[in-house]
């Protein structure tokens, strides 16, 4: 290859690279700053709460109770009371509930303590995990087995009816003991091959989600297909998630987290809550559903229930049918392009519905949703409301559909609620952790003290060891931390946990490795008799593949930890992995641009690094 | 440094490494681990009581309330106690037993629950399985990467050093019976990454030298690679040890297990990457031929 006349400039970065570097650093610095200020506990009073006090009156009233208020913001009818002491949050909420008409509108929240100009830029502090902030964490197990069981029971009923109708004598269907994989299995003993063919045909047409296999001679076995099992499981867990979310909302914690974990678990994190008993009562509520005949308004022999918008609806005192008879409910788009909800009832429910609807064609039927729950004081309470009123089009059997539920989304919502009354999957709390607020604060203090000490020692060591280049490594290390904190604040869903802080401390120790590798190479090249500038160039180049190799394996473990681990461990994996990326950015790119500027033209040999 | 002495030192320390590893495996086999709450399930409650109360007062009270031997450990601060017992069904006992404040009421009215965790046995079992899986998946991925990046003889050295480090850390936890919890597991996984770090940097140098100086004996190449990377190894291990040390001193109780595991892991990681990490490829017959530049013929 011929050498081009204008050779590449040695140790030169073009101006745009500096622009990128400086811009990144400035943005990250701003993003990291709010974390420095931290967050204050606050109580939010919603616009509908009916708070009549002015901020000043409110402050005086709270002060009289021994509460120090940092500031009170009032905007669009909403009031935010920021407290000086985090531990007074619950106290203030109790105090406030006597001053407002709707205590439900009070929520515990956190307010950034950063100055206003910083907040107006849209930067938020890093989200802290429960182990740092204090609070309660629950892990709920959704038991899917009863859902499968209900499906199997309905099929057995339906098959028995089929046997009777087609006069297949000597045939029987029963649910055999749960197999190894914990799903219900059906065993059908049949008299002959004709019966077998007939049953197979029936199953294929009516219950395609069941897999039918030959057991022995004329007998059959049926099992829910894996696909259907997954579908049922997902539906059940999702529906429980939905229920939990709406219940947690009532607790009034804005930062609460409700999410699915694994196949059939739900994790609930309630930061700031100190008493798990209150939360447990709310979580452990049960829901049910019923169908009512709609009476004329003003009717004497009727019960009045409100619908979602609060309008009274007169319904019969006794429900036609309870939600325990619903086997399944799914939303779909009907022939006319209207959203509808398909409902399957069990046999008894089908008979009841059929008897009722025969005489009531053209008349409306109401569906009610009720929830039994315990309030925060542990008292049981029931809430009941009408979720839909639909017209009966024809005599109904064990399968029917409800139209007039609104849009497809609304139909889906209704189906979800209907299933909620049917697929009663018992939910049990399998893990419960409470971290006291003082312990959380102590954890933060210890973690950051360790980070500060580790950082101090490393900076000092690098400055002493690599006298000429040490300051470059130190600037790289400091900007590495700035970028890392900035990224943690920026990435949605990133949470800093105690093991996460440990990851940060480790990153400090390992981040200098990139610079050490490069500096050692530069030393080698200098020994070989090259000029400083040339040694810098070749040193950076030859160290790159080593740096990449070394970081890559740690990255593998970080990714594995993140994808398999849970809560706190994910926090560790996150800081570890991000730390690797940022340390490569600052160690190679940032330190090179600094060295280029200062030593890039240094042609002297015999330099001691 | 005399390179012949260095070779000798390497072989002797490799032998020591292997002996230590065998001893470690025996210790793990005999003593087993003191599994933490995360893996066994159960209840751990940390309470703050009046400083005058002793464990001999606490113990009988708790044992009768929970119908079992309750593990009472005094925490770092005076008056702070960590209570550990297996989960009880609330139906089995009087309702008062579920509330620790009521249980301890006869002793002290000022009971402050600092934190409490209840983990079902099923969850513990699953976590243990997940942890094992994580370890396995990480190992397989690393193995895949190593065999792609390095010749297998060279890779096996790094891998052996890795297993050596993990076994050594595990043995330490078995020997001291310190609690093996989820954060310690995370540390073990992080050690996987860091142990390889050192080995890879030496292996990189060996590869470079094998290509640059194919005439040199393998012992000599290994020695040169170690000498060339020695100051880097010391500096990086030094800074990491210092920061982990800071975490150990300042990080408090919850991170103690983690920092101790990391500290030992980094120490043995540095040691093993120099000793067994280089000696094993030598034993397996690594030679410059494995890195000879393939001559590509000019005619297609």
- Which of the residues B75, B115, B166, B181 would you substitute to probe the A interface, choosing the one with the greatest number of A C-beta atoms within 10 Å? B115
Chain B nearest C-alpha distance from A580 (Å): 11
pLDDT band per the 50, 70, 90 thresholds, residue A2: very low
Whether the Cβ atoms of residue B47 and residue B114 lie closer than 8 Å to each other? yes
pLDDT value at residue A377: 47
- Which residue from B minimizes the CA distance to A570? B186
d(CA A549, CA A517): 12
H runs (alpha helix) in A292-401: 347-358
Pairing of strands A219-224, A265-271: unpaired
Inspect the interface and report whether the beta carbons of A557 and B119 lie closer than 8 Å. Answer: no
d(CA A25, CA A589): 12
pLDDT digits (tens, 9 = 90+) for A29-64: 888 888 888 778 888 887 777 777 788 888 888 888
Q: Which chain B residues touch A551 with a CB distance below 8 Å?
A: 197
Q: With respect to residue B299, please indicate whether it lies within any of the assigned structural domains.
A: no
Q: Which chain B residues touch A569 with a CB distance below 8 Å?
A: 182-183, 185-186
pLDDT value at residue A3: 47
- Whether residues B90 and B185 fall in one domain: no
Chain A nearest C-alpha distance from B243 (Å): 4
Inspect the interface and report whether the beta carbons of A450 and B137 lie closer than 8 Å. Answer: no
Alpha-carbon distances of B237 from A581, A586, B112, B263, B271, rounded to whole Å:
20, 20, 42, 10, 10
Q: With respect to residue B283, please indicate whether it lies within any of the assigned structural domains.
A: yes
Mean pLDDT of A106-120: 79
- Whether residues B157 and B51 fall in one domain: no
The model carries a pTM of 0.76
d(CA B222, CA B205): 9
Q: Which two tokens stand for residue A407?
A: 């849009």
Whether the Cβ atoms of residue A154 and residue A120 lie closer than 8 Å to each other? no
Pairing of strands B34-35, B179-180: parallel
Q: Which chain A residues touch B197 with a CB distance below 8 Å?
A: 510, 513, 550-551, 553-554
d(CA A247, CA A374): 11
Of A431, A432, A502, the CB nearest to B255: A502
| Helix, strand, coil in percent for chain B, rounding step 5 | 70, 10, 20
Mean pLDDT of A88-99: 79
Chain A nearest C-alpha distance from B206 (Å): 12
Q: Which two tokens stand for residue B273?
A: 């990457």
Mean pLDDT of B121-130: 78
Q: Which two tokens stand for residue A67?
A: 């509460």
A111 forms bridges with which residues in the sheet?
Answer: A40
pLDDT digits (tens, 9 = 90+) for A279-293: 776 676 555 667 888
d(CA A99, CA A45): 11
- Whether residues B223 and B146 fall in one domain: yes
Q: In the predicted model, is pLDDT for residue A7 greater than 60? A: no
Q: Which chain B residues touch A502 with a CB distance below 8 Å?
A: 183, 247, 251, 255, 258-259
Query: How many Cβ atoms are within 10 Å of B227's Cβ, its own excluded?
Result: 13
pLDDT band per the 50, 70, 90 thresholds, residue A202: confident
Query: How many Cβ atoms are within 10 Å of B280's Cβ, its own excluded?
Result: 21
Q: In the predicted model, is pLDDT for residue A246 greater than 80? A: no
pLDDT digits (tens, 9 = 90+) for A348-373: 788 888 888 888 888 888 887 766 55
Q: Where are the beta strands (DSSP E) in chain B?
A: 34-35, 42-48, 71-74, 80-85, 112-119, 179-180
Inspect the interface and report whether the beta carbons of B197 and A550 lie closer than 8 Å. Answer: yes
Average pLDDT, chain A: 79
Per the structure, the complete domain to which residue B152 belongs is given by 3-36+123-291
Mean pLDDT of A15-23: 88
d(CA A521, CA A16): 27
Inspect the interface and report whether the beta carbons of A431 and B240 lie closer than 8 Å. Answer: no
Whether the Cβ atoms of residue B45 and residue B102 lie closer than 8 Å to each other? no
Inspect the interface and report whether the beta carbons of A509 and B229 lie closer than 8 Å. Answer: no
Size of interface A-B (CB pairs under 8 A): 205
Chain B nearest C-alpha distance from A387 (Å): 36
pLDDT band per the 50, 70, 90 thresholds, residue A181: low
pLDDT band per the 50, 70, 90 thresholds, residue A251: low
Inspect the interface and report whether the beta carbons of A462 and B142 lie closer than 8 Å. Answer: no
- Whether residues B90 and B204 fall in one domain: no
- Whether residues B156 and B59 fall in one domain: no
- Which residue from A minimizes the CA distance to B150? A549
Mean pLDDT of B129-135: 83
d(CA A111, CA A118): 13
Alpha-carbon distances of A457 from A237, A474, B92, B191, B193, rounded to whole Å:
50, 11, 55, 22, 23
- φ and ψ at residue A300, rounded to 5 degrees: -75, -50
- Whether residues B99 and B159 fall in one domain: no
- DSSP state letter for A359: T
- Whether residues B253 and B266 fall in one domain: yes
- DSSP state letter for A86: G
Q: Which chain B residues touch A501 with a CB distance below 8 Å?
A: 255
Q: In the predicted model, is pLDDT for residue B1 greater than 60? A: no
pLDDT band per the 50, 70, 90 thresholds, residue A481: very high
Query: How many Cβ atoms are within 10 Å of B291's Cβ, its own excluded?
Result: 18
Query: How many Cβ atoms are within 10 Å of A137's Cβ, its own excluded?
Result: 23
Any CB–CB contact under 8 A between A143 and chain B? no
Whether the Cβ atoms of residue B239 and residue A462 lie closer than 8 Å to each other? yes
Of A446, A499, A552, the CB nearest to B252: A446
- Whether residues B16 and B151 fall in one domain: yes
What is this model's ipTM? 0.84
d(CA A422, CA A412): 15
- Whether residues B105 and B209 fall in one domain: no
Helix, strand or coil, per DSSP, at residue A403:
strand
Q: Which chain B residues touch A461 with a CB distance below 8 Å?
A: 238-239, 242
Pairing of strands B112-119, B42-48: antiparallel
Q: Which chain B residues touch A609 with a CB distance below 8 Å?
A: none
- Residue A416 CA neighbour count, 13 Å, CB half: 15
List all residues of chain A from 534 to 593 with a beta carbon under 8 Å from chain B: 545-546, 549-558, 560-561, 564-566, 568-569, 572-573, 576
pLDDT digits (tens, 9 = 90+) for A422-447: 545 667 777 888 887 777 888 888 88
Average pLDDT, chain B: 81
d(CA B273, CA B298): 41
Long-range contacts (CB closer than 8 Å, 24 or more residues apart) made by A238-244: A238/A416, A239/A416, A239/A419, A239/A420, A239/A423, A240/A140, A240/A142, A240/A266, A240/A425, A240/A427, A241/A266, A242/A416, A242/A420, A243/A287, A243/A420, A244/A140, A244/A268, A244/A283
Of B127, B145, B186, the CB nearest to A572: B186
Inspect the interface and report whether the beta carbons of B118 and A455 lie closer than 8 Å. Answer: no
Whether the Cβ atoms of residue B202 and residue B277 lie closer than 8 Å to each other? yes
| Residue finishing a domain among B73, B99, B119 | B119
pLDDT band per the 50, 70, 90 thresholds, residue B262: very high
| Residue finishing a domain among B104, B119, B134 | B119
Q: Which chain A residues touch B194 with a CB distance below 8 Å?
A: 510, 554
pLDDT: which is higher, B79 or A579: A579
pLDDT band per the 50, 70, 90 thresholds, residue A180: very low
pLDDT: which is higher, B19 or A95: B19
Q: With respect to residue B222, please indicate whether it lies within any of the assigned structural domains.
A: yes
d(CA A457, CA A324): 66
Inspect the interface and report whether the beta carbons of A462 and B239 lie closer than 8 Å. Answer: yes
Q: What percent of chain A has pLDDT over 70?
A: 88
- Which of the residues A560, A570, A583 would you substitute to probe the B interface, choosing the one with the greatest number of B C-beta atoms within 10 Å? A560
Q: With respect to residue B297, please indicate whether it lies within any of the assigned structural domains.
A: no
Closest by CA to A353, choosing from A313, A389, A392, is A392
pLDDT band per the 50, 70, 90 thresholds, residue B170: very high
pLDDT band per the 50, 70, 90 thresholds, residue A90: confident
- The total of structural domains in chain B comes to 2
Chain A nearest C-alpha distance from B6 (Å): 21
pLDDT band per the 50, 70, 90 thresholds, residue A478: very high
d(CA A53, CA A50): 9
**Domains observed in chain A:** 15-35+437-599 (1.20.1640.10), 40-113 (3.30.70.330), 145-229 (no CATH), 286-408 (3.30.1360.200)
d(CA B269, CA B187): 13
Q: With respect to residue B242, please indicate whether it lies within any of the assigned structural domains.
A: yes
pLDDT value at residue B298: 54
d(CA A520, CA B138): 30
- B94: domain CATH number? 3.30.70.260
- Whether residues B169 and B279 fall in one domain: yes
Whether the Cβ atoms of residue A596 and residue A11 lie closer than 8 Å to each other? yes
- Whether residues B13 and B160 fall in one domain: yes
| Residue finishing a domain among B119, B153, B186 | B119
Whether the Cβ atoms of residue B194 and residue A510 lie closer than 8 Å to each other? yes
Highest mean pLDDT among A342-346, A574-578, B290-294: A574-578
pLDDT digits (tens, 9 = 90+) for A315-333: 887 778 777 677 777 778 8
pLDDT value at residue B241: 92
Any CB–CB contact under 8 A between A55 and chain B? no
d(CA B216, CA B213): 6
Listed in sequence order, the residues at least 6 apart from A288 whose beta carbon sits closer than 8 Å to its beta carbon are A322, A323, A324, A369, A370, A371, A372, A421
- Whether residues B198 and B212 fall in one domain: yes
């Amino acid at each position: 290859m011929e050498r081009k006349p204008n050779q590449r400039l040695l140790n030169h970065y073009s101006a745009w690279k500096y622009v990128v570097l400086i811009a990144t650093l400035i943005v990250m610095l701003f993003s990291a700053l709010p974390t420095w200020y931290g967050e204050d506990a606050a109580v939010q009073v919603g616009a509908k709460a009916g708070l009549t006090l002015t901020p000043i009156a409110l402050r005086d009233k709270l002060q009289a109770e021994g509460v120090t208020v940092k500031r009170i913001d009032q905007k669009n009818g909403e009031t935010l009371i920021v407290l000086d002491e985090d531990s007074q949050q619950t106290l203030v909420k109790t105090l406030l509930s006597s001053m407002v008409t709707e205590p439900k509108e009070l929520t515990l929240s956190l307010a950034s303590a950063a100055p206003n100009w910083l907040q107006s830029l849209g930067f938020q502090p890093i989200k802290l995990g429960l182990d740092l902030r204090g609070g309660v964490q629950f892990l709920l197990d959704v038991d899917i087995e009863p859902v499968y069981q209900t499906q199997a029971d309905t099929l057995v009923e339906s098959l028995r009816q089929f046997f009777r109708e087609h006069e297949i004598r000597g045939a029987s269907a029963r649910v055999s003991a749960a197999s190894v994989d914990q799903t219900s299995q059906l065993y059908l003993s049949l008299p002959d091959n004709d019966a077998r063919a007939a049953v197979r045909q029936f199953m294929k047409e009516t219950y395609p989600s069941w897999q039918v296999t030959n057991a022995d001679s004329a007998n059959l076995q049926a099992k829910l297909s894996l696909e259907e099992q997954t579908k049922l499981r997902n539906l059940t867990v999702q529906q429980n998630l939905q229920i939990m979310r709406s219940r947690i909302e009532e607790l009034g914690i804005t930062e609460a987290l409700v999410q699915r974990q694994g196949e059939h678990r739900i994790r609930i994190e309630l930061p700031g809550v100190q008493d798990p008993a209150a939360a447990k009562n709310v979580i452990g509520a049960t829901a049910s559903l019923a169908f009512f005949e709609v009476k004329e308004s003003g009717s004497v022999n009727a019960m009045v229930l409100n619908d979602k918008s609060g309008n009274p609806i007169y319904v019969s005192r006794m429900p036609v049918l309870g939600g325990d008879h619903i086997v399944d409910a799914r939303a779909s788009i009907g022939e006319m392009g209207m959203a509808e909800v398909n409902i399957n009832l069990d046999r008894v429910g089908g008979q009841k519905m059929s008897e009722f609807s025969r005489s009531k064609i053209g008349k409306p039927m109401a569906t009610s949703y009720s929830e039994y729950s315990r309030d925060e004081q542990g008292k049981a309470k029931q809430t009941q409301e009408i979720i839909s009123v639909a017209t009966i089009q024809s005599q109904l059997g064990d399968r029917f559909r409800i139209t007039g539920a609104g849009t497809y989304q609304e139909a889906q919502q209704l189906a979800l609620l209907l299933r909620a009354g049917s697929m009663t999957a018992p939910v049990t709390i399998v893990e419960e952790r409470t971290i006291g607020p003082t312990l959380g604060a102590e954890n933060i203090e210890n973690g950051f003290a360790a980070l500060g000490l580790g950082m101090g020692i490393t900076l000092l060591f690098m400055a002493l060891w690599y006298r000429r280049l040490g300051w470059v490594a130190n600037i790289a290390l400091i900007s590495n931390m700035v970028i890392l904190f900035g990224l943690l604040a920026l990435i949605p869903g990133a949470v800093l946990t105690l093991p996460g802080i440990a990851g940060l401390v480790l990153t400090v120790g390992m981040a200098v490795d990139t610079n050490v590798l490069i500096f050692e190479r530069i030393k080698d090249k200098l020994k070989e008799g090259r000029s400083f500038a040339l040694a810098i160039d070749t040193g950076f180049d030859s160290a790159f593949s080593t740096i990449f190799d070394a970081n890559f394996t740690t990255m593998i473990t970080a990714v594995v930890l993140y994808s398999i681990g849970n809560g706190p461990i994910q926090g560790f994996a996150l800081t570890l992995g991000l730390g690797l990326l940022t340390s490569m950015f600052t160690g190679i790119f940032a330190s090179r641009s600094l060295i280029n500027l200062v030593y890039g033209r240094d042609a002297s040999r015999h330099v001691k690094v | 440094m005399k390179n012949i002495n260095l070779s000798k030192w390497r072989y002797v320390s490799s032998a020591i490494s292997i002996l230590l590893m065998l001893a470690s495996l025996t210790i793990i086999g005999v003593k087993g681990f003191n599994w933490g709450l995360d893996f066994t399930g159960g209840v751990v409650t940390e309470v703050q009581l009046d400083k005058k109360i002793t464990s001999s007062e606490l113990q009988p009270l708790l044992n009768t309330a929970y119908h079992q031997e309750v593990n009472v450990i005094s925490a770092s601060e005076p008056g702070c106690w960590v209570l550990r017992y297996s989960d009880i069904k609330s139906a089995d006992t009087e309702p008062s037993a579920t509330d620790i404040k009521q249980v301890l009421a006869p002793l002290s009215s000022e009971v402050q629950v600092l934190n409490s965790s209840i983990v079902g046995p099923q969850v513990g079992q699953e976590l243990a399985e997940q942890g094992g899986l994580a370890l396995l998946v990480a190992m397989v991925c690393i193995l895949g990467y190593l065999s792609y990046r390095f010749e297998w003889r060279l890779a096996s050295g790094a891998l052996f050093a890795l297993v050596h480090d993990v076994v050594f850390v595990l043995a330490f936890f078995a020997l001291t019976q310190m609690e093996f919890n989820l954060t310690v597991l995370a540390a073990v996984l992080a050690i996987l990454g860091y142990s390889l770090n050192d080995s890879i940097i030496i292996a990189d140098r060996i590869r470079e030298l094998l290509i640059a100086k194919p005439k040199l004996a393998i012992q000599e190449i290994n020695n040169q690679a170690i000498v060339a990377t020695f100051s880097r190894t010391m500096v990086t291990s030094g800074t990491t040890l210092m920061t982990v040390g800071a975490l150990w001193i300042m990080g408090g109780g919850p991170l103690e297990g983690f920092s101790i595991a990391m500290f030992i892991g980094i120490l043995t990681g540095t040691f093993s990457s120099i000793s067994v990490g280089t000696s094993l490829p030598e034993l397996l017959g690594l030679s410059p031929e494995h890195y000879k530049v393939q001559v590509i013929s000019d005619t297609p």
